[in-house]
């Protein structure tokens, strides 16, 4: 059950991180992140238990659910940082994630509308996402920034792995194209997340 939850978290995070963002927006965000000289936060213990390798979903409904839950996690966790974080660079990244994942939710819904059989995204957070979000809620200022940065690296890497897996072995051609289209943006978001401090 835990492996399935981790898999759903990864797929959702990947899909949501990149939706609705153009390559130019992503490149601009990467340049901003690089110019802010943000330090990496990928070794935070909070996200380490989520780093275990799991099999990615290759069927449509679980993939769509994972993508929807990922978007929700990204939006909710990023709102915490915008409201209570300390670093201007981290707050800017978090706002970018809110915008990107709101757009990706719309893109996901548009992609699945009219599919047969019908697919309805379920954005219910899996237990790991909920635990991570709850842990972020208990932190403030610089501590929140650091924990958020670590969570973003873990989440985006899992999402990237899931997108690549679905793009190569998924059961729905439209969703495979969706996953393939998300890879460059999620890769850019992962690289930006690694530079957060």
CATH number for the region 2-194 comes to: 1.20.1260.10
Parse the chain into domains and list their residue ranges: 2-194
Tell if the pTM clears 0.95, that is, is over it.
no
- The tokens describing 3, both together, are 């492996």
Q: Which residues of 79-91 are buried (b: 16+ CB within 10 A; e: fewer)?
A: ebbeebbebebbb
Give the pLDDT of the chain (197 residues) as one tens digit per residue: 443 443 334 444 434 444 444 433 433 343 333 333 333 333 333 333 343 345 788 899 999 999 999 999 999 999 999 999 999 999 999 999 999 999 999 999 999 998 988 899 999 998 988 989 999 998 989 999 999 999 999 888 988 888 998 999 999 999 999 999 999 988 999 999 999 96
Distance of alpha carbon 131 from alpha carbon 177, whole angstroms: 31
Distance from first CA to last CA of the chain, Å, rounded?
Answer: 33
CA 175 from chain centre, in angstroms, equals 17
In degrees, to the nearest 5, what angle opens at C-alpha 161 toward C-alphas 149 and 72?
A: 55
């Amino acid at each position: 059950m835990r492996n399935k939850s981790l898999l759903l978290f990864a797929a959702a995070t990947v899909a949501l991180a990149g939706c609705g963002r153009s390559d130019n927006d992503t490149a601009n965000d990467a340049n901003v992140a690089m110019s802010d000289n943000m330090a990496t936060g990928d070794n935070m213990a909070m996200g380490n238990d989520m780093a275990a390798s799991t099999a990615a979903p290759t069927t449509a409904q679980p993939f769509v659910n994972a993508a929807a839950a990922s978007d929700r996690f990204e939006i909710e966790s990023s709102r915490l940082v915008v409201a209570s974080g300390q670093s201007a660079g981290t707050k800017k990244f978090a706002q970018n994630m809110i915008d990107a994942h709101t757009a990706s939710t719309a893109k996901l819904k548009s992609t699945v509308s009219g599919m047969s059989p019908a697919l309805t995204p379920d954005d219910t957070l899996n237990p790991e996402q909920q635990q991570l979000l709850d842990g972020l809620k208990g932190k403030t200022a610089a501590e929140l920034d650091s924990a958020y940065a670590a969570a973003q690296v873990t989440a985006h890497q899992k999402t990237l792995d899931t997108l690549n897996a679905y793009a190569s072995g998924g059961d729905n051609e439209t969703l495979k194209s969706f996953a393939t289209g998300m890879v460059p943006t999620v890769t850019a978001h992962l690289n930006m997340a690694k530079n957060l401090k």
